[in-house]
Amino acid sequence: MATTAEIKSKIREIIVNIAEDMDIDEEKVTDGAHLIEDLGLDSMALLEILAGIEKNFGVKIPETEFSELTSIDACVAKVEKYI
The pLDDT tens digits of the residues spanning 49-60 come to: 999 999 999 999
3-state secondary structure of 14: helix
- Each residue's pLDDT tens digit in the chain (83 positions)? 799 999 999 999 999 999 999 999 999 999 999 999 999 999 999 999 999 999 999 999 998 999 999 999 999 999 999 99
Provide the pLDDT for residue 1.
78
Provide the pLDDT for residue 22.
94
Asked if 51 and 45 touch (Cβ cutoff 8 Å), the reply is no
Asked if 65 and 78 touch (Cβ cutoff 8 Å), the reply is yes
All domains of the chain in start order, with CATH = 4-82 (1.10.1200.10)
Is the pTM higher than 0.85? The answer reads: yes
Sign, CA torsion 61/67/70/73: negative
